[in-house]
Amino acid sequence: MGHAEQAKTWTYTDGAWHEGNPAIMGARTHGVWLSSSVFDGARAFDGVIPDLDLHCDRAIHSAKILGMDPKINSEEIQKLSWEGVARFPSTSDLYVCPMFYAETGFITPDPTSTRFVLSIFEAPLPEPTGFSACKSSFRRPARDMAPTEAKASCLYPNVARAVKEANDKNFDTAVMLDPSGNVAEFSYTNLFYVKDGDLITPAINGTFLNGITRQRVIKLAQSNNLRVIEKAVDFDELLTADEIFGTGNYFKVGPCTRIENKELPIGKITIRLRDLYFEWAKK
C-alpha cells in the first residue's frame, strides 16, 4: 500500500494524537538502523477489542526481550486504544497496533531511549472465503537464532520472503517448517488441521509465537467438547487433512482451501470455531 493510499489512521505519540502517519524516526534512530522495534496487533469491531489486555501485555514483553525499557503499562495502553478507536465511526473494522522502539544505542539499544507509539487504522475483516498455501523453502529460526518469543519487526523479512516465494507460485501464503523439519505455522498465522474429528496443531517449541487467537480458539474448542492435540506435525499430514485453517489477529479464523495441489472444503469445524470466536468476542 503506497503512502497516498494508506487507510485512515490515527497515531498516538509523545502525548498527543495525530491524524495520519507522522514522521517520528530518523536515519540514526536505533529502531530503523538496528531493528530495535516490536509491535502487537489487536482488532476492534462491533464495539469490542477482543483480548486487548493480552495484546498490550505482549507488546511490553516483546520490548523487554529486545532490551528496551517500556515506561507505559498495559492498562495505560488499553485506555489509549479505546480513545483512539473512538475517533473512528462505530461501524469501522480497525487494527490496533501498539509499538515500541529505541531511539539510540549502538548494537544494543539504550533502554532509556525506549519510545512508545500507538497506531490505529481502518482494516476490514477479510471474508472467510479461503486461501491457498504451499510448502516454503524458508524455515522459522530456533529460539537461540533469533528473538522468536517477541513479536519483533526483525523477524518479518523472513515472513515476507516466504510469502513472496508462495505468491510467485500462485499461492496466497506458505507453510513454514521449524529447524527440525516439522510444521511451524503458516507464514504469519498459526496453523490447525482437522482429522477424523480431532483438532491438531503444532506444539509450541519456541520457533513461533503461541498466538493469542490460537490460544483463544483452543480454549473454545475444548469447552465445546472438541479434542485438541498439540504435537509435532509432519508436512505430509496436511496433505491428508479433512480441514485446514489458520488463526491470527488479522482475520481471526480463516479456512485454507488448497494445500499444494489438494483442494479442501471450508469445513464444518472451521466455520463452527470461527462462529464460536465471534460469539465469544461480542459477549
- In this prediction, residues 33-61 reach a mean pLDDT of 97
C-alpha cell at 83: 480513545
Task: Count CB atoms within 10 A of the CB of residue 280.
Answer: 16
Task: Say yes or no to pLDDT of 78 above 80.
Answer: yes
Q: For residue 139, which phi and psi values (nearest 5 degrees)?
A: -115, 160
Q: What is the pLDDT of residue 3?
A: 41
Sign, CA dihedral 201-133-41-106, equals positive
The CATH architecture one would assign to domain 3-122 is 2-Layer Sandwich (3.30)
Q: What is the pLDDT of residue 1?
A: 33
Q: Do β-strands 114-122 and 94-102 pair in parallel, antiparallel, or remain unpaired?
A: antiparallel
Mean pLDDT of the chain: 96
Task: Count CB atoms within 10 A of the CB of residue 41.
Answer: 19
CA-to-CA distance for 53 and 78, rounded, in angstroms? 7
pTM, entire model: 0.95
- In this prediction, residues 243-254 reach a mean pLDDT of 96
Q: Return the closest-CA partner of residue 19 out of 123, 91, 97, 121.
A: 121
What is the torsion angle, in degrees rounded to the nearest 10, for the CA atoms of residue 178, residue 181, residue 187 and residue 191?
Answer: -90
CA-to-CA distance for 274 and 278, rounded, in angstroms? 6
The CATH architecture one would assign to domain 131-281 is Alpha-Beta Barrel (3.20)
Long-range contacts from 73-78, C-beta under 8 angstroms, 24+ separation: 77/116, 77/118, 78/52, 78/53
User: Distance of CA 270 to CAs 29, 153, 231, 282, Å?
Assistant: 43, 30, 19, 19
- Exposure letters 167-206 (e unless 16+ CB within 10 A, then b): eeeebbbbbbbbeeebbbbbbbbbbbbbeeeebbbbebbe
Q: Please write the tens of the pLDDT for every residue from 159-208.
A: 999 999 999 999 999 999 999 999 999 999 999 999 999 999 999 999 99
Q: What is the pLDDT of residue 283?
A: 86
Per domain, the residue ranges of the chain are 3-122, 131-281
Task: Say yes or no to pLDDT of 5 above 90.
Answer: no
Task: Count CB atoms within 10 A of the CB of residue 26.
Answer: 9
Q: What is the pLDDT of residue 11?
A: 98
